């Protein structure tokens, strides 16, 4: 791989770490498609496993002073964890680009449809039902594509106005989901897929980005944070559509 591409890739990984540090989510979602361009999706998911765990654990440690009602979010965390097991299993045999396009479509509907937003507002008044409906989808998508964040944000933006709660709950879901994903993928891993040198470089660069991002997080108030998330969801949707379509078209043209 050309040194220029390696440097560009590491720069993008650094940016993904900064975004996760500032917003409390985003690294697996952003880093996976970057690495998938060079390694394929399954290997990209594997390469993001260790740096994602490090970033998530550090983010949770940074939340140690937050006062969070764990019982309020226990159900969604549990359901997403179970969904991640199914999603990781799907990753071993299903084309995840189809899931990405479905996820991108759901984000687009959420961002543009006032009627859907009214429906979600009604669901937010029934938190257990809301968690049961959206949790399996979030876990399934997250386990298969590392893209749990958009669906989870749709849920959390309706359930709380607190930036601190969103950051803590999302990273708690990410952590348990990653552990579930690791449990499944470890059954299918080979030594060659570990790519130790790229893994080490990605981990170091991602952590440096996280540290930089954490210094920005405290300067973002709740209202601005929620606005930024909506822009982030739009960005993630575009990335999902681009990668899903590009991969599907590339595979079709290669088969023909």
Residue-wise pLDDT tens digits, 200-209: 999 999 999 9
Helix, strand, coil share of the chain (percent; to 5): 85, 0, 15
- CA distances 206 to 17, 29, 51, 124, 211, Å, are 5, 13, 7, 34, 9
Q: What is this structure's pTM?
A: 0.82
pLDDT at 93 over 70: yes
Q: What is the pLDDT of residue 255?
A: 43
Higher pLDDT, 233 or 1: 233
Q: What is the pLDDT of residue 203?
A: 93
Range of the domain at 42: 3-255
Residues contacting 133, CB < 8 A, separation 6+? 123
Per residue in 155-206, pLDDT (tens digit) is 998 888 888 899 999 999 889 888 887 887 777 766 666 677 888 999 999 9
Q: Are 20 and 213 in contact (CB under 8 A)?
A: yes
Lowest-confidence region among 19-23, 86-90, 227-231: 86-90
Q: Are 174 and 25 in contact (CB under 8 A)?
A: yes
**What average pLDDT is seen over the chain?**
82
pLDDT above 70: percentage of residues in the chain? 88
Q: What is the pLDDT of residue 193?
A: 61
pLDDT band at 122 (very low <50, low <70, confident <90, very high): confident
Average of per-residue pLDDT across 48-59: 93
pLDDT above 90: percentage of residues in the chain? 21
Q: What is the pLDDT of residue 118?
A: 75
Q: Are 51 and 177 in contact (CB under 8 A)?
A: no
Average of per-residue pLDDT across 41-68: 87
How far is 218 from 244, CA to CA, in rounded Å?
34
Helix (H) or strand (E) holding 49: helix 41-62
State the first-to-last Cα distance of the chain, in angstroms, to the nearest integer. Answer: 27
Average of per-residue pLDDT across 113-138: 82
pLDDT band at 3 (very low <50, low <70, confident <90, very high): confident
pLDDT at 251 over 70: no
pLDDT band at 113 (very low <50, low <70, confident <90, very high): low
pLDDT band at 75 (very low <50, low <70, confident <90, very high): very high
How far is 203 from 197, CA to CA, in rounded Å?
10
CA atoms within 13 A on the CB side of 216: 15
Q: What is the pLDDT of residue 213?
A: 94
pLDDT band at 54 (very low <50, low <70, confident <90, very high): very high
Per the structure, the count of domains in the chain is 1
Is 64 exposed, middle or buried (CB count within 10 Å of its CB: 0-12, 13-18, 19+)? exposed
- CA distances 12 to 8, 199, 205, Å, are 6, 15, 10
b/e 3-16 (16+ beta carbons within 10 angstroms → b): eeeeeebbebbbbb
């Amino acid at each position: 791989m050309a040194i220029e591409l390696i440097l560009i890739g590491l720069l993008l990984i650094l940016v993904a770490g900064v975004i996760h540090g500032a917003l409390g989510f985003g690294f697996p979602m952003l880093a996976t498609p970057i690495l998938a361009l060079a390694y394929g999706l399954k290997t990209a998911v594997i390469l993001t496993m260790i740096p994602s765990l490090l970033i998530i654990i550090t983010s949770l440690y940074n939340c140690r002073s937050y006062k969070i009602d764990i019982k309020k979010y226990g159900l969604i965390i549990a359901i997403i964890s179970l969904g991640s097991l199914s999603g990781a299993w799907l990753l071993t045999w299903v084309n995840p680009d189809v899931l990405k396009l479905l996820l991108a479509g759901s984000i687009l509907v959420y961002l543009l449809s006032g009627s859907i937003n009214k429906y979600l507002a009604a669901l937010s008044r029934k938190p257990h039902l809301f968690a049961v409906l959206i949790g399996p989808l979030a876990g399934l998508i997250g386990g298969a594509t590392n893209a749990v964040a958009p669906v989870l944000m749709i849920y959390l933006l309706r359930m709380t106005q607190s930036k601190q709660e969103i950051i803590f709950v999302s990273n708690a879901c990410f952590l348990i989901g990653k552990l579930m994903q690791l449990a499944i993928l470890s059954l299918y891993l080979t030594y060659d897929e570990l790519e130790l040198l790229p893994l080490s470089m990605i981990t170091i660069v991602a952590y440096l980005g996280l540290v930089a991002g954490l210094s920005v997080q405290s300067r973002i108030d709740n209202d601005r944070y929620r606005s930024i998330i909506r822009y982030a969801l739009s960005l993630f949707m575009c990335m999902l559509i681009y990668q899903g379509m590009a991969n599907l078209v590339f595979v079709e043209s290669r088969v023909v």
